Structure 1
Amino acid sequence: MDAFPATAADTWIPEGLTAFCRFVSHLSGAFLVLTVHWRVGEDIAILASNADLPIQKIRPENLVERLDTSAAIVDLSASVSHLSSALLMLYPAEERNLYFLAVEAEEERYSGLLLLKSGPLETFQDALILDYLRSVLRQMLGDYWLLRERRYFQAKFHDLFDSLPIGILLIEGNGTVGHVNSTAEALLGIPAGQSSVATIARAFQKLRDRCINAAELQRLYAPLQQDLQFAIQCDWSTDEQVLYVDTHPILGNARQGRVWILQDVTAQRIREQSLQKTAERDALTGAYNRHFLERYRNDFEQKTSTSENSTAVMMIDIDHFKAINDQLGHAVGDDVLRAVSQRLQGQLRQRDAGVFIRWGGEEFVLLVPVRTPEEGSLVAERLRASIAHRPIRVAAEQTISVTISLGATFYRTGEGVTEDTIPRADTALYRAKQGGRNRCEWSQ
């Protein structure tokens, strides 16, 4: 026996399912999410949706033929044309893919989620979240058939709302009341549950003021007060953590409310920085590598073209390095490469602000801003002398004398640093080698 009359339950129960569909829409990127149920031989009933729809049922036709419900997500894209034309006209995307998340799959009845998306459906970030979505929806639908009780369904939805490992704040359309989940409580320091928007705004402002990038965030969020459709995703970085913050209006209309999503990505950003550093550094010497220059060459060329200073570009080669490898072994050769690299980088004073790159083998490239050609010559001489005037200690407490040759030139506005400037420095380096080594030659 129903706990409440069917008419009262039918009024309230879809609200929890609708909110659930909106969550799934955000997590999956699908522009349409439907909670559906059907029995064999009957139309597919739409119980709830993330959008206002002109229809409540879909004719099955070939949509569910040979439906494989053993998979977590079933791809029905080949049957998308069998969707109601009323739905397809609402979403005239060039590419429309259809997926089914099965909750109940028996011989006589099926229920779950239909997701319509432009492009392929990417895997949810965490398989546990996907399993939890199915589990919660299964309970919600089970209770729907058994009890049809509004508060019970809202409690199930709030279980999901509070259990997700991301902070979520839902601002109601009137702009005065917000709902905060448990993760957002931990991140913002305000109680979970219902809270005034003024309290939420103060917590956001307090967090933003602590951010290293507070000035940038203030500029990015300036349009929020005037633009109802304002949406943005960016990092909020403090000394302790990095939060990825996403805000956008619900259903693309702020009058329906606004959602804020906060995710702690500190560990992820540390991994990304570590991987980037590894990818951009030479493992042996610690100098930057060619990949670094290719990645940042456009920024370098733009900055150099607009700078008041000139940029000296130097090609540096360790003299007679092949003989060191052949006579003393590659281990000693590696020691020499490390020592030369460290000594040269140590000579680049803070005011030089140079970029030091291992170009390959025993060759290095230096890009350093200088005020005058004379200053460029002084930098080159300082580097040369730092190697020539002091032997290098290698394995087994052995020391060997090493010298370097340098070819140098200046970057010219409009040219490519890797196609034009460095080859010109390399030509000057060849002249330095031919001229006796342990010297610097300039090419204009």
Structure 2
Amino acid sequence: MSMRESCVIVDENGRIVDMNQKAKEMLPFLNSGVIGEKALDVFSIFPSLIEAMIHPKEQEMELNASSVGGPEWILAKISPLNDDRKDSIVYAIFFEDTTERHRMLESLQYYATRDDLTGLFNRRYFYEAIKPGIEASINKVSEVSIIMIDIDSFKEVNDAYGHALGDKVLRSCAKVLAANIESESDAIIGRFGGDEFIVFMPEASLEEAQRIAEKLRLSVVAMPILEEIERPLHISVGVAAGQIERFEEIEMLISKADDAMYKAKRSGGNRVCT
């Protein structure tokens, strides 16, 4: 059997009756020893493919084959065969290596959702990411919290040392903030714009959000001093919490947290305000 695509033939009894060399090269477990074996047993490593094979019809699915020595991602296509010859052949399974395409899509998705400089969620995707948490909080009639963060004296750093160092400050702060948020269940952080960051906490009271905000403030204070500016960095943090009944009402909390953040800045910075 020769064919440009990787292909396996399965008969009406569900047994593998033929395959081409390309299939053997793509999936090492496909060898002459599996001829005559039940396809459901041979492909048991792929549950979604097994489910499709039980009632074979024209369909396709993507599979991760790295655990069996194959490509990271393959596209499996089941295609019933014409039975005009009245023989026992029922369907073919074609395999295509889609690893590069899959990685390209992952890359596109990453850059569509992430801020280029810091790697945090960008502002547009942040709103998408918090939707499930807001819905859960609405259903449970519980509070949600917003933390707004601004780097103190960032404009002065930018003006005095240039945008390259300003970018380094943003990346350094983002890394520390994200690392401290990771340990908080369901909390989501994003870059809101400029030198501002935002944190969403579902089902979190004002007191809980204040605790996290203070933890974030202290984490920035404890950062190693950047040798280029020879002074510690610190942040102003605003916190707001409340119950909301519709997704759109999150803007009200963001506005309150933003006001609290500017209150912290007017009070000298390096503090948390509500």
TM-score by length of 1: 0.51
Name the SS of the counterpart of 1:400 in structure 2. coil
After superposition, give the CA deviation of every residue in 1:295-321 in whole Å (9 maximum; x if it has no partner). Answer: 535444445545797542211111232
Report the equivalent of 1:408: 239
Q: Distance in 1 between matches of 2:28 and 2:199?
A: 46
Report the equivalent of 1:366: 199
After superposition, give the CA deviation of every residue in 1:310-365 in whole Å (9 maximum; x if it has no partner). Answer: 54221111123212222333233223222222222233352445322111111111
Q: Which AA in structure 1 matches 2:146?
A: V
- Preserved contact between residue 313 and residue 367 of structure 1 (Cα < 8 Å): yes
After superposition, give the CA deviation of every residue in 1:196-231 in whole Å (9 maximum; x if it has no partner). Answer: 252x332211x33xxxxx5xx3xx754753x45473
- Preserved contact between residue 79 and residue 92 of structure 2 (Cα < 8 Å): yes
Q: Distance in 2 between matches of 1:259 and 1:399?
A: 67
Name the SS of the counterpart of 2:35 in structure 1. strand
Match of 2:22 among 177, 183, 186: 183
* CA-CA distance at 1:180 after TM superposition: 1.2
Name the SS of the counterpart of 2:160 in structure 1. helix
Report the equivalent of 1:325: 158
Structure 1 runs of 4+ aligned residues shifted over 6 Å read none
Q: Which AA in structure 2 matches 1:179?
A: D
Residues 329, 228 of structure 1: alpha-carbon distance in 2 compared, 3 angstrom cutoff:
closer
Unaligned 5+ residue runs, structure 1?
1-157, 209-213
Q: Which AA in structure 2 matches 1:183?
A: K
For residues 189-228 of structure 1, the aligned pairs below 5 Å read 189-191=29-31, 195-196=35-36, 198=38, 200-205=39-44, 207-208=45-46, 217=48, 221-222=50-51, 224-225=53-54, 227=55
For residues 280-319 of structure 1, the aligned pairs below 5 Å read 280-305=113-138, 311-319=144-152
After superposition, give the CA deviation of every residue in 1:93-145 in whole Å (9 maximum; x if it has no partner). Answer: xxxxxxxxxxxxxxxxxxxxxxxxxxxxxxxxxxxxxxxxxxxxxxxxxxxxx
TM-score by length of 2: 0.77
Q: Distance in 2 between matches of 1:232 and 1:326?
A: 56
Report the equivalent of 1:337: 170
Residues 306, 278 of structure 1: alpha-carbon distance in 2 compared, 3 angstrom cutoff:
same
Report the equivalent of 1:167: 6
Match of 1:235 among 42, 54, 63: 63
For residues 19-418 of structure 1, the aligned pairs below 5 Å read 158-159=1-2, 161=3, 164=4, 166-173=5-12, 175-176=14-15, 178-186=17-25, 187=27, 189-191=29-31, 195-196=35-36, 198=38, 200-205=39-44, 207-208=45-46, 217=48, 221-222=50-51, 224-225=53-54, 227=55, 229=57, 231-239=59-67, 241-250=72-81, 257-305=90-138, 311-369=144-202, 371-388=204-221, 392-395=225-228, 398-410=229-241, 412-416=244-248
Residues 235, 433 of structure 1: alpha-carbon distance in 2 compared, 3 angstrom cutoff:
same
Q: Which AA in structure 1 matches 2:23?
A: A
State the percentage of identical aligned residues. 26
Name the SS of the counterpart of 1:283 in structure 2. coil
Larger Rg: 1
- Preserved contact between residue 56 and residue 78 of structure 2 (Cα < 8 Å): no
- Preserved contact between residue 172 and residue 257 of structure 1 (Cα < 8 Å): yes
Q: Distance in 2 between matches of 1:194 and 1:342?
A: 50
Q: Which AA in structure 2 matches 1:235?
A: L
Residues 389, 256 of structure 1: alpha-carbon distance in 2 compared, 3 angstrom cutoff:
closer
Report the equivalent of 1:429: 261
Q: Which AA in structure 2 matches 1:281?
A: R
Residues 257, 237 of structure 1: alpha-carbon distance in 2 compared, 3 angstrom cutoff:
same
Unaligned 5+ residue runs, structure 2?
none
Q: Distance in 2 between matches of 1:339 and 1:176?
A: 58
